[in-house]
Amino acid sequence: MKRTQCPICTSTDCLPFLTYKGAIVHQQLLVRTREEADRPQRGDIELAFCRSCGAVWNTLFDPGLLKYGGPYEASQSISPAFWRYMAGLAKRLVRDYDIDHKRIIEIGSGDGRFLQLLCQMGDNSGAGFEPSWEGSDFLDASRKVQIIRDYYSDRYADSAADLVCCRHVLEHIQNPTLFLHDMLSLSKSSSTVFFFEVPNFNWSLREGAFWDVYYEHFLYFASVSLRFLFSRSGFRILRMRNGFGGQYICIDAKGEMGVRRRLAPDRRTRAEVRALFSRVTAFSIYYQRLIETTRRRLSHIARRSNLAVWGAGAKTVTFLNLLDVGRDQIKYVVDVNPRKWGAFIPGTGQQIVSPESLKKRSPEIVLLMNPRYRPEIKSTMKRIGVTAKVLTIEREGLS
């Protein structure tokens, strides 16, 4: 059923602005055969903008299409650049909120590395909740870190915590106000610090990143909508800032139980929503033109050069499928994560290979989806003796 009411403020003053038919439902599932890659689960996307609070969501979202129990691999921590980002984030949280010899809960803990960093830096203990957890050989041998293969719920109400972390989960939640309210209800203390991190849709709009629209994401946050959501849900915001080169929004907060929640946007929110609406409108106008221009440029390059893509994450999956890039144009995708090697990109079927394999494949051009990794990738290529030119996908196109 099409959802035309804002999932944050319940307003019906909403404007559809972008449609993507037949999107890949799961970008991060490990697809082990080309036959499976050629028949992926697909769903439709229609993004709508709330002119009251600035929320953006997929009105056609069908949660029944999503299955997170299989071999799911979204970890970025193998990248040195991302590891430094996570370590800096963990260090700040431990320092700023005196998280030392404390208890930590992480909702959607992924591979558990961020939770382990938090526990190691402050001699803390932690429990992570991850329904797709498949075990690991790197977790703290002292058993101070426990990963539970389940969703966090009132079944675990006895799991009190001094710090609750939730990174890259909120954008998947269909009723974010209820979700946050439940987090407060399960909290055992008004001193509990909550840390959330979500993708920054404002960054995607500014960069013209048409490949940042995923079926798995029900919500797309800018700072204004995220701040309004937390204030409405009974939180006192301690700090908001951008992370990872502006690609994420980070928010630190505490619960304000018993405080009357603000149910309507204030003057500041309304002004920021108007500014965001201008960016959304511009993006909707140029969306299809950006796709067509990039498709032509990529086809031109592929006809003249042996081309590879670096990074087999959600950006690449969406990019290759939106442009309908065949294996005659790009034969393989490189990734540093060993778990992905030998798997295939859903929809377009390129095989995922190791960086070391580039030596024998001799690409002339390596296409990089996320410019944040450019120094790291150029360093890796130099180490393994690959002299290909590195192009990034940015606002101006291929550069």
What are the tokens at 396?
Answer: 């101006």
Q: Tens digit of pLDDT for each residue in 32-47?
A: 999 999 999 999 999 9
Q: What does the pLDDT read at residue 280? A: 97
Token couple for 341: 């090697």
CA distances from 345 to 244, 250, 317, 330 (A): 25, 30, 6, 11
Could you tell me the two tokens for 26? 């799961």
In which band, very low, low, confident or very high, does the pLDDT at 133 lie, cut at 50, 70 and 90?
confident
Percent residues over pLDDT 70 in the chain: 94
- Residue 157: pLDDT above 90? no
The pLDDT-based confidence of 68 (bands split at 50, 70, 90) is low
Count of C-beta atoms within a 10 Å radius of residue 189: 11
pLDDT score recorded for residue 138: 66
- The pLDDT value recorded for residue 336 is 93
Q: Kindly list the domain boundaries of the chain, sorted by start residue.
A: 295-398
pLDDT (0 to 100) of residue 395 = 57
The answer to whether residues 398 and 294 touch, using CB atoms and an 8 Å cutoff, is yes
Give 295-398's CATH code, choosing from 3.40.605.10, 3.40.50.300, 3.40.1190.10, 3.40.50.720. 3.40.50.720
Average pLDDT of the residues in 143-161: 83
Determine contact, residues 130/109, Cβ cutoff 8 Å. Answer: yes
pLDDT single digits (tens) 231-258:
999 999 999 999 999 999 999 999 976 5
Name which of 184, 124, 173 is nearest 151 in CA terms: 173
pLDDT at 354: 96
Of 315 and 71, the structure prediction assigns the larger pLDDT to 315
By three-state DSSP, how is residue 128 classified? strand
358-392, pLDDT tens digit by residue? Answer: 999 999 999 998 889 999 999 999 999 999 999 98
- 50: pLDDT confidence band, cut at 50, 70 and 90? very high
pLDDT at residue number 214: 95
Task: Choose among 333, 337, 387: nearest CA to 359.
Answer: 387
Chain position carrying tokens 């719920």: 153
Alpha-carbon separation of residue 273 from 19, 175, 269, 370 (angstroms): 21, 21, 6, 27
CB 154 within 8 A of CB 201: no
pLDDT at 260 over 70: no
Average pLDDT over residues 330-356: 95
Averaged pLDDT, 189-197: 92
